[in-house]
Chain A
């Protein structure tokens, strides 16, 4: 459960930092008066949707941290047989990086009011995300034909489960991205589109980060990393 406890510690640090800005030591019973008489404690100027997505990412982060925790606990039991990493996985990772980059480009273009590039960026991001998902399905197929069935070993089961959950999150993101693309296609002005583009980019970057962590875990790098850390500490 180390992963999830560390994740929660991170969340607690963020929450603690935010609370420290909120004048929790104020004495509200003495502070009668109009707004602005007392500094701090008001909402931020960020749009609600962005805060909402941030909170949602914390939830998704908690979900994946729990999968990582379960993975590392189950891994220590004797029946664990790691499975080989299909080469296609590297290609998929590259495609996901491209997808994230394209959405970043769309976001930058949106800030510059460049509607043509926004649409191109969004489409490129969407298409490469779809390619990534198809690639993941092919990886499954390759593993299956090579005899690494879901129920044969917990390592296989975790591989299929974790990639499926990640893929489903990307699929959900594609719904939002699809709606944004339709809006951009119909020529909605950039200022009304900017928030949606930013939200998509934020979600994509997060899922890329999650994927890189999962990749490190599934390929066994994470173990090496933990071992090195342990050696450094001892």
Chain B
């Protein structure tokens, strides 16, 4: 097995042995259970005259509630990825854990890539598992399934990977706490900048709109979140928002268009650049 896969396996093994996976599993089951119960209540709502809500209104309510829940889920996933990635390298340098490994015929790039791969696999698998479970629960409770579930999970996972990558690159130089906090704050700033960009688009103010564009390029987490929202919106809602013109765009929990292909291409390049920067930074670090 090449060294980077050994390191990736070790990273997954650590998460498993330290009971991170077990804790996530239990928390996920609790949250999904509660949300299924809550979503099921929507189907029992009635109008003032005692008639049950029509199916399209239930679908609309469910889709909006699902967006809010997904926002929280993607946020928790992104923050967890940042917090776990922050100390990924720095803590092992500080504790001396990496000393005996680096004296083996292992390139530093293999350590960086191995750790990224291991954690990326965990983030992607967890997003797929927890997301599928939640969508399944919502489908069971209300009969509603978002129009593009696979894309939704891909966008949510990618957002987690962005924060993981930011945490990792910082971890090559900064202490775990510092790296985690910077990644976390960056994520929040990017989200706020995305909202500012939305307001700019709504008001047709180019300068404000550019803030959103630039923030999506520097840290694509918010851009990916918009992709996740779009994947959750029923066609009727999208049509209604488009009818509102630019004003329909000024909402951080709504998207009138899917992310442009150019943006998705940039995200791939962004991942490559950040990984390359991580490798360079760790290779030039003295231990």
Report whether chain A binds chain B: no
Binding site for B on A (CB under 8 A): none
**Which B residues contact A (CB, under 8 angstroms)?**
none
